[in-house]
Structure 1
């Protein structure tokens, strides 16, 4: 710890740490077959079933082009497929395949394992305190985002 206690310094340290944790989780999940971004997309499909690309982009907060490229890759890998939308002949629905379900389960297990290793270093009391702090930070971040809009 560098002893920084001002809001900006702690904020920057938090951002660097969040980036490091994300990178470690992403690397572990990629070793299991999926990146974190691809896993998020598959989770949405797993939770809600066949979904239009535009809806996936909205839900994930990604550019439509990025989602299309990700779906293209997942489709090449046999993890999703595009099917006609029965309510709109011009639209396609992205559907999770049986292989996609299996790879998602493996990636989820890998991600859970690495998060347990990282956050398991904290006591129950520390985890509870961190959870409360993260809630406060999340509320402040949402307020800041609303103020900018």
Structure 2
């Protein structure tokens, strides 16, 4: 399994941060790999909502279906699956004072079968894009 975690603070209140991040369609604005996210279940965003995600990392395009599995005011979790990988995005939110929010973002991916041999490369890729993710997410949230 490949895991990356970053903790950072944004100058936006927790309610606004949670409202924005809980709609995974917005991930195209803060996730460097996400190219397209389309909500595939009808209705408002809630636990069980599914998005079809298309991502591109190191020149490889992959598609996963992500489900919102935790939707609390201070914690969001999305889980994605396809034939070769299981992925999760976990976002813990805490009040940081001065109206800001501390975000602890954890991304995990487990590759299946022969693809598992690529985990050391994916670890390097995740470490590289983690900083880009923090910058992109901070910019997107503070522009709200």
If the length of structure 2 is used for normalisation, what is the TM-score? 0.30
Larger RCO of the pair (alpha carbons < 8 Å, separation 6+): 2
If the length of structure 1 is used for normalisation, what is the TM-score? 0.29
